Amino acid sequence: MPPRTPKNSSGSGSAVGQQAQQAQQISPFSIALNIDLQNDTYVIKGGAGVGVAHVKKPDGRVMSVHVHANGAFQQMTAFDPAKLTVDERRTLESTLYNKGMTQSEIADLVGKSQPTVANDLRILRQRGDIT
């Protein structure tokens, strides 16, 4: 869901002022992720000193940025599903799951839905690849 355009605090109400203020508010993420507000699907959320942005590009690539402690620590990941087979993706999902990530967190990183990740993990359990 795209972020709402914030009210212009200068009182001018100009669209240019609103766009500048909006860009300033999401700039740490938009610069790092090159968010295209018209074509990308993205989620930006935060709390307790942590900001997270997940962006899915129209070509299927997924990028994620985590910013901690007012920008002092930033972590970025990029995932291109076109470069993996389904089995390789499932192996990656298994590795991330075994490291303690939730199905929803994994889904965000690999650009799939949580039910798809749950199904992949179920298949891996049936094959004995994970416990």
Note the pTM of the prediction, 2 decimals. 0.61
What tokens were used for 48? Answer: 């307790």
Domain 84-131 has CATH 1.10.10: yes
Over residues 65-98, the pLDDT tens digits come to 888 877 778 788 888 888 989 999 999 999 999 9
Domain positions in the chain are 1-80, 84-131
What tokens were used for 55? Answer: 């962006």
Please report where in the chains the tokens 């990308």 appear, as a residue.
Answer: 40
